Amino acid sequence: METNRRIEALVVFAGGALGGLLRYFCNFLPVIGHWPLTTLFINWLGAFLLAFLGAYLSHKLAQPAYWQSFLGTGIMGGFTTFGTMILQVFSLSKNQPALAALYLFASLFIGMLLVLIGQKFGQIFVNDINNSRKEMTNA
């Protein structure tokens, strides 16, 4: 158990470092790289992917828990950011309070929709794999 926690901690560290680096790279993308769209895009994508991952991995119970820790807690947790979202709401609200409210609402509302879509996609993906396995055994 003690060793498990240590490996898990290491895996989270590595995933977080990669996720943070990916988030930093997004600043250099065209269109999306422009403030404040970057964080909006990152958080939407991360919410979708984490929901997809959760639905996908929950069907693969034989998988070691380290995958969830590396991809979910590490990469997606490190990729998305709550702090910068709050910071941007504050900076926008100084001159454009309506835009700040819209930014926050869009982050959360569309984020929730993307969680639902991500879960659905994850389930469809797993069903697809299961069906093709069945076809292989039937053939």
Task: Out of 85, 92, 103, 122, point to the residue binding other proteins (CB under 8 A).
Answer: 85
d(CA 1, CA 31): 46
DSSP 8-state code for residue 62: T
The answer to whether residue 99 forms part of the interface with other proteins (CB under 8 A) is: no
Asked if residue 43 lies in contact with residue 81, where contact means CB atoms within 8 angstroms, the answer is yes
Q: Which of residues 30-69 bind other proteins (CB under 8 A)?
A: 42-43, 46-47, 49-51, 54, 69
d(CA 8, CA 129): 28
Q: Which of residues 103-122 bind other proteins (CB under 8 A)?
A: 104, 107-108, 111-112, 114-116, 119
Task: Out of 86, 99, 106, 124, point to the residue binding other proteins (CB under 8 A).
Answer: 86
Q: Which of residues 120-139 bind other proteins (CB under 8 A)?
A: none
Angstrom distances, CA of residue 27 to CA of 22, 24, 77, 84: 9, 6, 18, 13
Asked if residue 76 lies in contact with residue 23, where contact means CB atoms within 8 angstroms, the answer is no
**Residues in contact with 133: Cβ distance below 8 Å, sequence separation at least 6, in sequence order:** none
As measured in angstroms, the least distance from the Cβ of 98 to other proteins is 17
Residues that bind other proteins (CB under 8 A): 8-9, 12-21, 23-24, 42-43, 46-47, 49-51, 54, 69, 72-74, 76-87, 89-90, 104, 107-108, 111-112, 114-116, 119
